[in-house]
Every structure is written in C-alpha cells, then in structure tokens.
Amino acid sequence: MTNFIDQEIADFSVNAYHDGDVTQVTKQDTLGKWGVYFFYPADFSFVCPTELGDLADHYADFQKANAEIYSVSEDSEFVHKAWAEATDTIAKVKYPMLADPAGKLARFFNVLDEDAGLAFRAVFIVNPEGKIQSYTINNMGIGRNAEEILRTLEAAQFVAEHGDRVCPANWHPGEDTIAPSLDLVGKI
C-alpha cells in the first residue's frame, strides 16, 4: 500500500464535462488553489448521483474555501454530458467532471479496480502546490459526505497556515485548536 501524504500529483491532461461544455483539464490548471479529487465508480449508477448531488449542494462552500472539486470516473466526457442531460441531480453539478476512460488518473492514485474497470470511492485533498494532504478510499458501496470532505479540507488549510497548531476531532473553522506541547501530554 502506498502512502500518498505530501506526494505530488502526476502530470495529466484529461477531457472533462464542465458546466455544459467539453473542456480539457491539466495538472497545471489545478495548481494555485486547493483541489478535491473525488473518484467514483460510474455514471448512471446508484450511490454516485447521491454523492455528486451532495457535492453540488455544497459547491459554493468549497469555492469560498478556495477549492475546486474534480469528480473523476472511468466514463468519457460524453457519458458525463449524457448523464447531466438525463438526470436532474447531475444537471446541477457545476464543477468539472473529469473523464478517465483509460484509467490513468485512477492508476496514479491507486484506486482503480482493474477487474471491474471502475474506480473505488476515493477523495484526495491536494494543496495549491499539487501535493496530497489527505485521502480516504472506500469500497464501492460506501457513500461519502460532502460536509465531512469540506471539514477535512478546512482543517488541512488551517494546518497548512498554522503549522504550530493542530485540529482535534470534529473541528470546524473558528473552533479551538491545539498547540502541541509536553505540558499537554496525558491531559487531553
């Protein structure tokens, strides 16, 4: 198993369906702001639209946090377009839906189920310099929560800005953090 923390993401160039158009997204395009790479198994499926819809409902919050969401599946940009046109839930998605039919991104992030040809449910939070700060990987049937992804993003941003402080469980912006010290050992 590979540890991805602080690993720089690979160069890439993929097609995407974004806000009604087919575009291209490269690694260079993603640098300079926080990135949330949101892998999911497949378009026209069951758990996936609930997750992408949840992210769409919270998209403005991610944008306020200087982050872009990149949903990624092994479908083509044309399948993403068809899904958005066929489904009200996906029609509200305004973030880029990356097309990875060759599995290059899923292989780099080590989330491709080669036998199924599908990506596991994974979230990678990447800093503006292109380095992975957090990741989770779930099996196919385990959906995720946009609010927890946002909370994790905000904690990663806080730690990046305040390296001498850490965020406890369930921390949200504005709440108390911890300044690690020998005096705290055994008192928390």
What positions carry a catalytic annotation?
Answer: 48
- Non-local (6+) Cβ contacts of 7 within 8 A are 131, 132
Q: Which of 13, 66, 45 is nearest to 121 (CA)?
A: 45
- Non-local (6+) Cβ contacts of 6 within 8 A are 131, 132, 133
Q: Give the β-pairing of 34-39 and 67-73.
A: parallel
